[in-house]
Amino acid sequence: MIVPLTAYLVVGAILFAIGVYTVIAQRAAVMILMGIEVLLNAIGLNIIAFWRFTAPTDYSAQIFAILVITIGAVEMAIGLALVMLLYRQRQTVEVDAYAELKR
Amino acid sequence: MTAGLEIIAFAICAFIAITGALGMTTTMSMFRSGIFLMASFVGVAGLFILLAADLIGVLQIMMYIGGMLVMILFMVLVMHDPGGAMMAGMDMSFVERWFSKGLVPREPAQSGHAKHMHGDHQRGYNDHHHGNAVQPDEPNDRKAAAMRSGHGAHPMEHTDDDEQEGQVMHHSGDKHDDMDMGGMDMSMDTPVRPIAVWLAAAVSVVLVSMLLLRPAWRIIDAAPDPDSARSIGHLLMEKYMVAFEGAGFLILIGIFGAVLLARPSTHPDDPSRSAKVAIDERPEPIADDGLTPLAGARGSTEHHMHRHHRPEEHGA
């Protein structure tokens, strides 16, 4: 525990900022999904860092991290299915073309 | 673990995680984005293992790396420029230029030349991608699109085998604009990118300054159990049983939803249906779906109307 808690949290904060930037600035839907994955990673890193430094004998935080990873996997599956469906409809994956979803 | 080793391991893992995420969002090549994201995941997994959460680290590698491989496959399948060859010649910021180093810009005339040298199927594939270069934020007039769609599909060189494929291409070319190398806005980023940069910088600065000005958390200096996976398993099966079952149920529903979404539609109004009809000479009959048929495709209309109206009455 030489490396302080703040260092891990700073890494998590930077990852979160990069994820926010990716979700807002990217044009392709797949890239937005990747940005969401980075966001979930930052959340998991924060959870595990707090577990290690403030409650290392209670493993509930790791259960929480497992749930976050599960939700990330399900989100990726549903998101890719949606992207494939929208690609079949619009012949593009760029989210600007999805401005009106019903036509 | 000695102190120096821990610091070095943390530095390496944090560098890989942050550089991977940064490279993911700034490189012009979709394929490289996927690889960079994998590197970021590996770095975060290293941080997990450094934090004595070895089970989460291994889970991270196993689930996310598998998912990322599938994602890269999808990208190469779906994107119109997965390798970033078109965007490599554009002006970029220095970060983007550094992360896109080594990408060879593709000349449009050269790609057209290579298209003729390949086989029919390859040419159709290229044409398909050619037609997919859409400018979604530029609603150009349909006349120019229709004029250029003929150019994009190369109708003079179509053999008879190509004809059906050409119909599909024409179908997609009608709806969208064809590629125009002149005023094409091909960047991967939305116009709000400067706002996004400032917002991300603001999020980062606010979070880091809050961390530096924080009230001190009470840090417990107890080493966790080295056999932590056993404890986690017991917790999953005893205390957090409902959450565990809920996650399993969520995965089940997610799989059902993904399969349901990815299934080709049987509705006659669906574009994928028309593409299928254009390719398949004996398409699957659609008489037994619960949807109302179109005016052109009159089958057993009363039966369908009956089936269509029943849920409305039931709902009312």
Are A94 and B136 in contact (CB < 8 Å)? Answer: yes
Pair B21, B73 in one domain: yes
Task: Select the residue of B187, B200, B219 nearest A54 (Cβ to Cβ).
Answer: B219
Partners of A28 in the β-ladder: A94
Q: Hey, is the C-beta of A19 within 8 angstroms of any chain B C-beta? A: yes
Most confident of A2-11, A84-93, B158-167: A2-11
Nearest chain A residue to B276 by CA distance is A88
Tokens of B121: 């199927």
Predicted ipTM > 0.85:
yes
| CA nearest to A22, candidates A4, A42, A3, A5 | A42
Q: Hey, is the C-beta of B16 within 8 angstroms of any chain A C-beta? A: no
Asked, for residue B204, whether it belongs to a domain, the answer is no
Domains in chain B: how many in total?
3
Asked, for residue B242, whether it belongs to a domain, the answer is no
Chain A CB contacts of B131 below 8 Å: 91
B269, B294 contact by CB (below 8 A): yes
B196, A26 contact by CB (below 8 A): no
Question: How distant is the Cα of B53 from the closest Cα of chain A, in angstroms?
Answer: 7
Evaluate if residue A5 carries a pLDDT over 80: yes
Pair B82, B161 in one domain: no
Which of B98, B125, B142 lies at the terminal end of a domain, its last residue? B98
Predicted pLDDT of residue B105: 63
Asked, for residue A101, whether it belongs to a domain, the answer is no
Asked, for residue B51, whether it belongs to a domain, the answer is yes
Q: Hey, is the C-beta of B242 within 8 angstroms of any chain A C-beta? A: no
CA distances in angstroms from B190 to B84, B93, B162, listed in the order given: 16, 15, 36
Predicted pLDDT of residue B17: 93
Q: Hey, is the C-beta of B240 within 8 angstroms of any chain A C-beta? A: yes
| CA nearest to A34, candidates A50, A47, A18, A54 | A18
> What's the pLDDT band for A42 if we cut at 50, 70, 90?
very high
Q: Indicate which of A91, A102, A103 best probes the interface with B, i.e. most B CBs within 10 Å of its own CB.
A: A91
Which of B153, B175, B197 lies at the terminal end of a domain, its last residue? B175
Q: Hey, is the C-beta of B64 within 8 angstroms of any chain A C-beta? A: yes
Predicted pLDDT of residue B313: 43
Report how far residue B59's alpha carbon sits from residue B63's, in angstroms, rounded to the nearest whole number: 6
Chain B CB contacts of A56 below 8 Å: 52, 220, 222-224
| CA nearest to A27, candidates B91, B201, B80, B142 | B80
Domains in chain A: how many in total?
1
Tokens of B215: 């009230």
| CA nearest to A27, candidates B8, B22, B191 | B191
Range(s) of the domain holding residue A15: 5-91
Task: Select the residue of B17, B132, B189 nearest A92 (Cβ to Cβ).
Answer: B132
Predicted pLDDT of residue B84: 62
Report how far residue A47's alpha carbon sits from residue A68's, in angstroms, rounded to the nearest whole number: 10
pLDDT (tens place) for every residue of chain B, 316 residues total: 588 888 999 999 999 999 999 998 888 777 888 888 899 999 999 999 998 888 999 988 888 887 777 777 776 676 666 666 665 555 566 677 677 776 766 555 444 433 333 333 333 334 444 444 433 433 334 434 434 443 433 333 333 343 344 333 333 333 333 333 333 344 556 677 778 888 888 888 888 888 888 767 788 877 777 788 888 888 889 999 999 999 999 999 998 988 887 776 655 555 555 555 565 555 555 555 555 555 554 444 444 444 444 444 444 3
Asked, for residue A39, whether it belongs to a domain, the answer is yes
Asked, for residue B147, whether it belongs to a domain, the answer is yes
Asked, for residue B144, whether it belongs to a domain, the answer is yes
In three-state secondary structure terms, B238 is coil
Predicted pLDDT of residue B280: 57
Asked, for residue A35, whether it belongs to a domain, the answer is yes
Report how far residue B247's alpha carbon sits from residue B231's, in angstroms, rounded to the nearest whole number: 19
| CA nearest to B27, candidates B134, B135, B101 | B101
Q: Report H helices in chain A.
A: 5-25, 29-54, 60-90
Are A20 and B21 in contact (CB < 8 Å)? Answer: no
Nearest chain A residue to B51 by CA distance is A52
Chain B CB contacts of A41 below 8 Å: 17, 40-41, 44, 60, 64
Asked, for residue B73, whether it belongs to a domain, the answer is yes
Asked, for residue A103, whether it belongs to a domain, the answer is no
- What letter would DSSP give residue B150? H
Which of B45, B65, B98 lies at the terminal end of a domain, its last residue? B98
Predicted pLDDT of residue A15: 93
- Indicate which CATH number applies to the domain containing A34: 1.10.287.3510
Are B136 and A92 in contact (CB < 8 Å)? Answer: yes
Pair B91, B22 in one domain: yes
Nearest chain B residue to A20 by CA distance is B200
Size of interface A-B (CB pairs under 8 A): 261
Asked, for residue B311, whether it belongs to a domain, the answer is yes
Task: Select the residue of B67, B211, B251 nearest A10 (Cβ to Cβ).
Answer: B211
Asked, for residue A54, whether it belongs to a domain, the answer is yes
Tokens of B80: 């119109």
Asked, for residue A96, whether it belongs to a domain, the answer is no
Asked, for residue B189, whether it belongs to a domain, the answer is no
Report how far residue B166's alpha carbon sits from residue B123's, in angstroms, rounded to the nearest whole number: 11
Range(s) of the domain holding residue B61: 3-98
